[in-house]
Amino acid sequence: MINFFNRIFEWDKELTEGEKYFFRLIEVILIGQIIYNTWNWAFYIKELTGVILPLGLANYIDITIFFGSNLAILNASIIAGLLFVGFFRKWKHAYLVTLFFFHLEYVARFSQGEISHGTNLAGMILLCIGVSFSFIKNSDHIIKSAFGLMYFFIGLGYVFAACSKLIGTGINWADGDHLILWIAERGTDKLSQNGAFSLNRLQVILLENYWLATITLAFGLLTELTGFLLWFKKTRWIQTTILLSMHIGIVFTLNIYFGDYVYLLILLGYPWDKLINYFIKKYSP
Pick out residues in 39-78 that bind other proteins (CB under 8 A).
44, 47-50, 52-53, 55-57, 59
CB of 143 to other proteins, least distance (A): 12
Size of the site for other proteins (CB under 8 A): 76
Q: Residue 17 or residue 164: which is nearer to other proteins going by CB?
A: 164
CB of 270 to other proteins, least distance (A): 20
CB of 264 to other proteins, least distance (A): 12
The distance in angstroms from the start CA to the end CA of the chain is 43
Buried b (16+ CB within 10 A) or exposed e, 32-48: ebbbebbbebbeebbeb
Q: Which of residues 153-182 bind other proteins (CB under 8 A)?
A: 153-154, 156-158, 160-161, 164-165, 167-169, 172-173, 175, 177-178, 180-182
Give the separation between CA 285 and CA 48, rounded to whole angstroms: 57
CB of 185 to other proteins, least distance (A): 5
Asked if residue 146 lies in contact with residue 132, where contact means CB atoms within 8 angstroms, the answer is yes
Give the separation between CA 165 and CA 233, rounded to whole angstroms: 27
CA separation (Å) from 110 to 92, 103, 113, 144?
A: 29, 10, 6, 32
Q: Which of residues 216-275 bind other proteins (CB under 8 A)?
A: none
Q: Binder to other proteins among 14, 62, 88, 192 (CB under 8 A)?
A: 192
Neighbouring CB atoms inside 10 A of 239's CB total 21
CB of 247 to other proteins, least distance (A): 14
What is the distance, to the nearest Å, from the Cα of residue 85 to the centroid of all Cα atoms in its chain?
Answer: 23
CB of 280 to other proteins, least distance (A): 28
Q: Residue 14 or residue 114: which is nearer to other proteins going by CB?
A: 114
Q: Binder to other proteins among 28, 74, 191, 222 (CB under 8 A)?
A: 191
Give the separation between CA 238 and CA 220, rounded to whole angstroms: 15
Q: Residue 184 or residue 248: which is nearer to other proteins going by CB?
A: 184
| 3-class SS of residue 38 | helix
Residues sharing a CB contact under 8 Å with residue 254, sequence separation 6 or more, in sequence order: 182, 183, 186
By CB under 8 A, tell whether 23 contacts other proteins.
no
Q: Binder to other proteins among 31, 42, 79, 183 (CB under 8 A)?
A: 183
Kindly tell me the burial class for residue 199, based on how many C-beta atoms sit within 10 Å of its own C-beta (0-12, 13-18, 19 or more): middle
Neighbouring CB atoms inside 10 A of 124's CB total 18
Q: Residue 92 or residue 277: which is nearer to other proteins going by CB?
A: 92
Asked if residue 173 lies in contact with residue 166, where contact means CB atoms within 8 angstroms, the answer is yes
Q: Residue 49 or residue 284: which is nearer to other proteins going by CB?
A: 49
CB of 9 to other proteins, least distance (A): 6
Q: Which of residues 107-146 bind other proteins (CB under 8 A)?
A: 112-115, 117, 120-121, 124, 127-128, 130-132, 134-136, 141, 145
CB of 66 to other proteins, least distance (A): 15
